[in-house]
Amino acid sequence: MSRGKISPNVIKLNNRQSVYQYIRKNDSVSKQDIVVALQLSLPTVTQNLQYLEKQKLIDTSRKIKNTGGRNATAYTYIENAKMAIGVYITVYHINAVAVDLSGDIKGIIRERVPFNLDDDEYLKKIGRAVEIVKAQAGISDKDILGVGIGVPGLVSDDGENVLYGMTLNFTGKTRKEIAKYIPYNNRLLHDSYAAGYAEIWEDHRVKNGFYISLSNSVGGSIIIDQTIYEGDRQKGGEIGHMVVVPKGGEKCYCGRYGCFDTVCRACILDQYTGGNLEEFFVQLKKGDREAAKLWDEYLDNLAIAVHNMRILFDGVIIVGGYVGAYIGDYMEDLCDRVDRHNPFGDSAKDYLFQCRFKREATAAGAALFYIDEFLNSV
């Protein structure tokens, strides 16, 4: 059976992306470096460099010093040539960030605003948050790639509709309604998907695993071969609705009883300190007995979930979300508790990690969706 030939246009695109990605990953390179590393002809490399320079994606103003002969042109990529914005709307906050082509946050705002998609003023505040971080990062209209909007609910594959929004009772809301005052290309993303996406973006240490999001609700992202697996109906990773208390459990927002969400959402802890999670961990460090009791039970329940995810996926487990941002000092304790459940002998410290993104993981991941889309189409 013969294979179809690759078209010249596809070859041309692949070569251009290879050249651009090589420059991105190696910071400052000469034309000859690219020729040797990618095994491309000099005319091909020259043509692609001219294209990238014309698109203002690379800089040629610097030189590489040469001990014998003329200094070669140094090709470097321009991090802020294009940017994207990510928004995360929660029960009490609107968070927004601007992200450059390296995935670095260049603008950020976090505003305390009660969630209410039926209030036009609330929708205007979402739009204003986008404009604020756009101005902070100095993004021009022509250089903004898009606005990803992270929401605490399941989203249709095309990013247009909220399929399941029971956490905040907004099932059925559309992108057009939520982004009414965002005048740029935009789409909706499930918050756990976006946060997991941020964690694995260009981090090749994580091939397979699970991202656990411990925020106002509990969710997760399944990572398979460095991509997020959403499932047949975008419900993959919904760890919050695993039944962990089969009898006598608390009622979950989904209407059932005993879900994992009921024992590991962030408010299990911050309800003790008036909704302030940071203050809970301050009290915990001070030796507060009630805080220690709550934390001990919380860690036991979290350890069960981590163990189950490890058994299911046999990969890296990342603890993220609001609680994940503060769990660093307690990872050794958590690992010990997980190991007590493990029948195979592998140590949790080798596969269980705190999240890299301590702040605004969901908003950053929502923005990175557009960054990746651009990088794959250069």
- pLDDT (tens digit per residue) in 23-37: 999 988 999 999 999
- The pTM (predicted TM-score) of the whole model is 0.89
b (16+ CB within 10 A) / e for 28-37 = ebbbebbbee
User: pLDDT at residue 4 above 80?
Assistant: no
Residue 173's pLDDT is what? Answer: 97
How far apart, in Å, are the Cα atoms of 133 and each of 100, 120, 151, 159, 291?
12, 21, 19, 22, 36
**CATH number 3.40.50.720 given to 8-77:** no
Tell me the one-letter amino acid at 176: K
- Of 197, 202, 268, the residue nearest 237 (C-alpha): 197
User: pLDDT at residue 67 above 70?
Assistant: no
Q: Is 171 helix (H, G, I), strand (E, B) or coil?
A: coil
Mean pLDDT computed over 274-280: 95
- Is 85 within 8 Å of 102 (Cβ atoms)? no
User: pLDDT at residue 323 above 70?
Assistant: yes
Place of tokens 């994606």: 57
Mean pLDDT computed over 114-143: 97
Tell me how far apart the alpha carbons of residues 218 and 231 are, in angstroms, rounded to a whole number. 18
Mean pLDDT computed over 213-223: 93
Mean pLDDT computed over 125-141: 98
User: pLDDT at residue 357 above 80?
Assistant: yes
Tell me how far apart the alpha carbons of residues 286 and 284 are, in angstroms, rounded to a whole number. 5
Mean pLDDT computed over 281-308: 96
Mean pLDDT computed over 291-300: 97
Percent of the chain surpassing pLDDT 90: 80
User: pLDDT at residue 267 above 70?
Assistant: yes
- Mean pLDDT rounded to a whole number for the chain: 93
Say which residues have a Cβ less than 8 Å from residue 198's Cβ, sequence separation at least 6: 357, 361, 362, 364, 365, 368
* Chain centroid offset of residue 245 CA: 30
Domain edges within the chain: 8-77, 83-196+361-375, 205-354
Mean pLDDT computed over 254-277: 94
Residue 1's pLDDT is what? Answer: 43
- The CATH number of the domain covering residues in 205-354: 3.30.420.40
| Tokens standing for residue 8 | 């010249």
b (16+ CB within 10 A) / e for 103-123 = bebbbbbbeebebebeeeebb
Tell me how far apart the alpha carbons of residues 105 and 92 are, in angstroms, rounded to a whole number. 22
Percent of the chain surpassing pLDDT 70: 97
CB neighbours of residue 166 within 10 Å: 15
Region at 48 (left for phi over 0; alpha for psi -120 to 50; beta for the rest): alpha
User: pLDDT at residue 286 above 90?
Assistant: yes
8-77 and 205-354, same CATH topology? no
Three-class DSSP labels, 119-170: CHHHHHHHHHHHHHHHHHHCCCHHHEEEEEEEECCEECCCCCEEEECCCCCC
Residue 2's pLDDT is what? Answer: 45
- The dihedral of CA 42, 43, 46, 48: what is its sign? negative
Place of tokens 């189409």: 377
Residue 345's pLDDT is what? Answer: 86
DSSP element (H, E) containing 84: strand 83-89
Whats the size of the chain, residue-wise?
378
- The dihedral of CA 59, 61, 66, 68: what is its sign? positive
- The dihedral of CA 27, 107, 131, 123: what is its sign? positive
Q: What is the pLDDT of residues 8-61, one digit of tens each?
A: 888 888 999 999 999 999 988 999 999 999 999 999 999 999 999 999 999 998
Residue 68's pLDDT is what? Answer: 59
How far apart, in Å, are the Cα atoms of 164 and each of 235, 322, 356?
10, 22, 28
Mean pLDDT computed over 293-314: 95
Mean pLDDT computed over 155-162: 94
User: pLDDT at residue 205 above 80?
Assistant: no
User: pLDDT at residue 6 above 80?
Assistant: no
- CATH superfamily of the 83-196+361-375 domain: ATPase, nucleotide binding domain (3.30.420.40)
Pairing of strands 105-112, 93-99: antiparallel
